[in-house]
Amino acid sequence: MRLAALLNEIEQSSGLVLGVDLARRLGVPPAEVAAMLTALRASGRLGTEVAVAPAMGDCSSAGSCSMSCPGPGECSLVIDVSLTALEVRRSETRVS
């Protein structure tokens, strides 16, 4: 049960864990951890993705501290951290 072991490892951490760290702890290549994470995600065990971009919906053209931040669109001064973060879904919410 490799997926269960991985999930267990994640749940025992608090806050952010990196894929590379999980790979190190489980002794498997990072690419394999990535595949396992996708499997957990596809099976509904890892939850919503977090990225910076979606939160920017309300901030358009907030040019260098311009006075307003109106309407949806993209904000040119957002630094793109471009990563995928997967949140653990608490298993309590899943018990039928």
Partner 1 sequence: MSGANDRRIAIAGCPNAGKTSLFNQLTGAKQKVGNWPGQTVEQFSGEFTVADERFEIVDLPGAYGLVAVSAEEAIAATYLAEERPEVVVTVADASNLAGSLHLVAQIAELGLRQVVALNMVDVAERRGIEIDEERLSAALGVEVVRTVARRGVGTADVKSAIARADGRQSPQLVIDYGPVVERHIGRLVEDILARPAVAAVGPARWTALQLLAGDAAMRTRIGALPAGDEVLAAAAADRDGIAAESGFAAEMVLAERRFEWITRLVGAMTGSQEPGLLWSDRMDRVLTHRFFGIPVFLGVMWIVLRVTADVTAPYLDWVDATVSGPMSRWAVGLLGLVGADGGWFESLIVDGVLAGVGAVLVFVPVLFALYLMLALLEDSGYMSRAAAVMDRAMRAVGIPGKAFLPMMVGFGCTVPAIYATRTLDSSRDRLLTGLLTPFMSCGARLPVYILLAAVFYADSKSMVVFAMYLLGIAVAVLIGFLLSKTALREDDPTPFVMVLPEFRLPNTRTVWALVRQRTGSFIKGAGTTILLASIAVWLLLALPVTGDGGFADTEIENSAFGAVSKGVAPVLDPLGFGEWEQSGSLLSGFVAKEVVVSTVAQLYAVDETAAEDAPGFAADLADVGTSFLEAGADTLRALPAVIGLDFIDLEDDTPTALQAAVRTSFEDSSGGRGQLAALGFMVFVLLYTPCMAAVAAFRQEFGTRWMWVSVIGQFAIAWAGAFIVFQGGRLVGLG
Token pair listed for 32: 């394999």
Q: In 3D, which of 71, 13, 9 has the Cα closest to residue 36?
A: 9
Among residue numbers 41 through 60, which ones bind partner 1 (CB under 8 A)? 41-52, 54-56, 58-59
CB of 52 to partner 1, least distance (A): 5
The residue count for binding partner 1 (CB under 8 A) is 77
Q: Taking CB under 8 A as the rule, does residue 72 contact partner 1?
A: no
| Per CB under 8 A, 27 contacts partner 1 | no
Q: Quick one: CA dihedral 18, 44, 6, 35, positive or negative?
A: negative
- In this chain, which of 25, 26, 39, 73 binds partner 1, going by CB under 8 A? 39
* Residue for token pair 């595949």: 35
Taking the complex as a whole, how short is the minimal distance between the CB of residue 9 and partner 1, in angstroms? 10
Any idea of the CA torsion for 19, 22, 23, 28, to the nearest 10 degrees?
-130
From the CB of 53, what's the least distance to partner 1, in Å? 9
